[in-house]
Structure 1
Amino acid sequence: MSATQTQTHGPHSLAFRVMRLCKPSFHVDPPLRIDPFDLLAGEDFSDDPSSASLFRRHVSSADAVDSDLSYRNRFLLNHPTDPIGLSGLLLLPQSFGAIYLGETFCSYISVNNSSTSEVRDVTIKAEIQTERQRILLLDTSKSPVESIRTGGRYDFIVEHDVKELGAHTLVCSALYNDADGERKYLPQFFKFVVANPLSVRTKVRVVKETTFLEACIENHTKANLFMDQVDFEPAKQWSAVRLQNEDSTEDPPTSGLSGLIPKPPVIIRSGGGIHNYLYKLNPSADVSGQTKFQGSNILGKFQITWRTNLGEPGRLQTQQILGAPVSRKEINMRVVEVPAVIHLNRPFRAYLNLTNQTDRQLGPFEVSLSQDETQLEKPVGINGLQTLMLPRIEAFGSNDFQLNLIASKLGVQKIAGITALDTREKKTYELVPEMEIFVETD
């Protein structure tokens, strides 16, 4: 890694050398390898299995006789893996390489004494400096290195989880006594830039009471990313379920090992490969009323972990993903239970729940079915008293009640037009959950 050095009090006896520690890469040898059978026979020759098999054995025996290291044999396909170009060797890093957000920066640092005299009482510090902060990686102030002889060195390894984008500086400094007993200070600066390995683009769609979140993850690196985990952590007022195609290859293979076979990772190809994830979000029923009904537009955030070709890990957490502000009604009604079998002209009970979604007390209420002038006879009506009285409901509270109903038409019918009149504020709430029921004969 290239460095800048600040000279103080003349030339220094010590110097820092920094090498990044990372795993090697595969050595790919991409020559044009061929199968002699493809050169000497046409496509139609393979239609006769017996002739093709005999010819292949003849070619194989001829190749076995000539086993020299000529270039002719080097280009022959002798193994199914030969077309891949992998030589079986690993290639050591030839440069500092790119550093991406979410990775662990690991560096091997060596303090060399290139002078002709020994230096003593060496205090060494290493820290990462970003635009926002300075992170101390090593400090030997409490236990200085006693001495570094001529031609000797002091080596150490530092690690840092990269959590910021942009310019970074690895600051290495040494405070030591030279041969004349003079106390000298040597700082060196090693600069590098952290890039974004992937981008997450989201789309939010709201269909009635259900929110759908689509996330598109794009790979910006020069290596394939093997996604270990792409989890959406919803805010506490939401619950999330990931939607997948039934024929998706991401499902774990079925076997008699009771899930011991690991789930194959999703591979996002290098240089712009993408993968889409779809989540279904519903309001959570496990939170307090005030949190649930305050109408927050925070949906949640993603936790993403991956590995590169040789298993180097990476991890990112996105910022909070925002959706459209959720508008809440002051009063909401939901259906708790209706009978499974409903007979024509026979009374039945529907169990419902009325919820106060405000921070103040509401009610008492008069619950009834609104009259529709365009429809002379409703298919489902109230049996008995046409108005039901309900007591006051506290802030963010709820009240369970039941309606005695009767159906006058066969088939699939809707129970609609339920209204609640706040007798204190003289305000009418239209509660239209539109329950569907099936009416049959006795």
Structure 2
Amino acid sequence: MNDADPRRAALRRQLDHWRRALEALLRFDEIAAADAWASLAPDLVRSIRLRFDKAAGRLMAELTGLERRAASADGGETADIEEQLVALRQRYSLLETTIDFYGDAINSRSNPVMQRTLAGLDHLAVLSMQRLLAPLGHPAPPVLSYVDRGLGAAIMKAGLRLWDPTVLSPAATIKIARHNLMRPTALIHETGHQVAHILGWNEALADALEDALSGESPELARVWAGWASEIAADSYAFAHTGYAAVANLHDVLAGDADYVLRFVPGDPHPVSYVRVLLGVEMCNAAYGDGPWRGLAQAWVERYPLADADAEVAALMRASLPMLPRLVRVCLDTPLPALGARALSHWIDPAEVAPPVLQRLALAGGSALARSPYWSAAEPLRILALSGLQMVTQPARATAIAETQQQWLQRLDPLPVAA
């Protein structure tokens, strides 16, 4: 290349810059702390690095080709090389976003307490997925949980294409909101999303919800079918953790009236007003009377439908009498995606009914949070019990949360009881 040509000299400088940038992008210990990497399962570390190595390798090969062309080409090709470099920069940006997402997630494990806590949540997440996936012949994907700001949890599902479309997500990467770290029933909501993705449960549930309501109102049926993905995840969290999942969802959604009574066409999240009441109806159906009825009373008093837009109020009033029917669809109706069985066949909410959890508390006593036996035998029900105690014994919530954190930090290395 003749560097006397300023334009071609600028091109060479840019090519050199993006080579260095790609090389730096794969210095993994600069993206996340070495201790944080070391806290992950070795297989997961290898999978993450291999996928990013391959993606960066493709870009590096493309860049090398541009460098060769630039070195041998006459000035007539400069514009074409510049155009292709712009496209490469855009793909670099997508890969950088993907790698930075994982770097930030892994770096949330940069101190020993958080490493052990999140490793315990990883363990619970995998167990919760295995309960439905294993009997239906599917392996549970690895999990990378992380803590971040915000009100709600979230998941980047394993197997989905990331910002860089050449990279598939190597794990179910689950965000736990910092404020909810010690009442993490939302973890199971997010694993419900992953399970539903693997099984095709969302589509099957959408069909069942629409069928259940089509005789009442085709429009109402379509709206509820459009909420199927969030309803499936809420049902999964309820089946595993019972009333704690409903109360914690209530607390996340309890914003101002505009938020709670907002309907956004096309949004997969149900209107918060009726979403909480659907969870309460799950408690009514599975457990009968209980503190959830007081929660529902307080909810409807705080958010009167008179404050809603007329369209939303009409939608809510049409939905409320349908809630028992919808709960039966969610929990007790066989679906093709669930092996022609109901969710409650595989994961029975009765196992986390408050009286049953109280019997577990009496049987295990203080050893529940310390004994390797109990932690291996009943990890998900211990999570449900801790959640129930925190929402029904607020005066003890801080002590319960501290005990739960200590339990989570001891949980990860434990084998699963046969």
TM-score, with length taken from structure 1: 0.22
Higher share in strand: 1
> Which structure has more RCO (C-alpha within 8 Å, separation ≥ 6)?
2
Q: Looking at CA atoms only, which structure, 1 or 2, has the larger radius of gyration?
A: 1
Higher share in helix: 2
